Amino acid sequence: MLLDRDGVINSLVYHDDAGVIDSPFAASQFKLLPRVPQAIRLLNDLGLGVAVVSNQPGIAKGRFKPEVLKACERKMLSQIGAEGGRIDCIHYCLHHPEAKVSKLRQRCHCRKPEVGLLEKAAAELQVSLGECYMIGDGIPDLLAGSRAGCRTIFIGRWKCEICQFTDPGVRPAFVAKDLWEAAHFIRSEVTGSAGVTSSPKCLSAEA
């Protein structure tokens, strides 16, 4: 399973000074969303590998230092681990086409909606991309997932307006309120059990 980080595992942060909603810029701002460790444990218990695939252009943009990303990572792993959940691998894209930090300024193959991160993670999990679900709260996550041949799950509220602007191929297999709901949907699919109500009408009608 391929999980986006911000908005899926941890909450987005409103940065007063910059007036933006973005990733945590300090480890103290890193907060897990509800039921995330339990959701990850559920995926572990199904025998599914769990990878994080995350665009993190904050270093490139000069928003924070590499140490902050590491500290957030330690916090994420220890808080998830404390509840018995396990993340098998983590892959970041640190690049940005307009980065201030010159060595990170590039058009790479890893920044979602490109598929490089997903390919690396699937290789490390030793699964094919066709067996993976890409779970994210942004259109780039869905685009990367569908380009890579994954099933996709959107976390958040799917607005019908989004449908009008997105390629039918990009529409997710399922819309979940949070990772816990997504994990239950995956369980229902991999075990063939029923009981999970499906996505909003605008999605299912076109499925």
Residues designated as active site: 4, 6
Is 7 a binding residue for Mg ion by CB under 5 A? The answer is: yes
**Cβ-based nearer residue to Zn ion, 97 or 168:** 97
Taking CB under 5 A as the binding criterion, the range among 90-98, 115-123, 132-140, 192-200 that sits at the site for Mg ion is 132-140
Which residue number, 89 or 190, has a Cβ lying nearer to Mg ion?
89
Write the interaction track for Zn ion spanning residues 85-114; mark x where CB under 5 A is met and - where it is not. --------x-x------------x-xx---
**Residue 111, binding choice from Zn ion, Mg ion, none, Cβ under 5 to 8 Å by partner class:** Zn ion
**Which residue number, 8 or 110, has a Cβ lying nearer to Zn ion?**
110
**C-alpha closest to that of 202 among 172, 160, 139, 174:** 160
Residue 91 CB contacts under 8 Å (≥ 6 apart), including other chains: 51, 52, 53, 54, 110, 117, 120, 121, 124
Cis peptide before 200 (omega within 30 of 0): no
Binding mask 137-176 for Mg ion (x = CB under 5 A): xx--------------------------------------
Counting every residue, how long is the chain?
207
Do 108 and 66 contact (CB within 8 A), yes or no? Answer: no
73 scored as a contact of Mg ion (CB under 5 A): no
**Helix axis angle, 36-45 to 179-191, nearest 10°:** 20
